[in-house]
Structure 1
């Protein structure tokens, strides 16, 4: 299950950045609202670094009114394209997995 989750959480992070930029803890909180996507700082920050290295997100530090500066992440055009491609492929992939799961139930 962890491999499945790991492969999907990247796209959930990109989806969270679709409309607005967010900082790491904010992304963690949003993921944590869905049980299957709960993750830790030890997972999310390396993921964000990789997304940045792969040019799917941009990162910039910004001063915070109530504490230390925060690193905000936002989608790049390549990140938007990757998310659109995943969104287009997901229904077919999901249907294929359900096909085999349902086939197993009829045995």
Structure 2
């Protein structure tokens, strides 16, 4: 259906921004990213998250540390790189501009 496709595209468009924003708060484990997104009602599964994290890492926006776990294998914690922080600052500005533009465009429809 057209509406579902548009909704999916809108969510995909902001997912990377949200993930970078979550990781900017400090070292973050993948399941914690999923939990934060879920709290914001952005449901993401591991099969979507891990390829995105890999792409962000390959683009130089993230690094990671392995941390030993008392309950299993070591865990990979993601960290924003300096380049990632610069990109996030640009995305913050873009979001503010885009959010304002959308609110202006749709006006008081309701």
Tell me the TM-score normalised to structure 2 length: 0.86
Deviation at 1:19, TM superposition (A): 2.6
Q: Which runs of 5+ in 2 are unaligned?
A: 1-6
Deviation at 1:97, TM superposition (A): 1.2
Q: Which among 34, 41, 47 is matched to residue 40 of structure 2?
A: 34
Residue 7 of structure 1 is matched in structure 2 by 13
Residue 97 of structure 1 is matched in structure 2 by 102
- CA distance in 1 between counterparts of 2:89 and 2:80 reads 12
Q: Which runs of 5+ in 1 are unaligned?
A: none
Residue 20 of structure 1 is matched in structure 2 by 26
In the alignment of these two chains, the number of paired residues is 104
RMSD: 1.5
- CA distance in 2 between counterparts of 1:25 and 1:19 reads 15
1:69 and 2:63 correspond: no
For each residue in 1:4-58, what CA deviation from the matched residue of structure 2 results, as whole angstroms up to 9, or x when unmatched?
A: 11111111111111131111111111111111x1111111111100000000000
Tell me the TM-score normalised to structure 1 length: 0.89
SS class of match (1:55): coil
Deviation at 1:89, TM superposition (A): 1.8
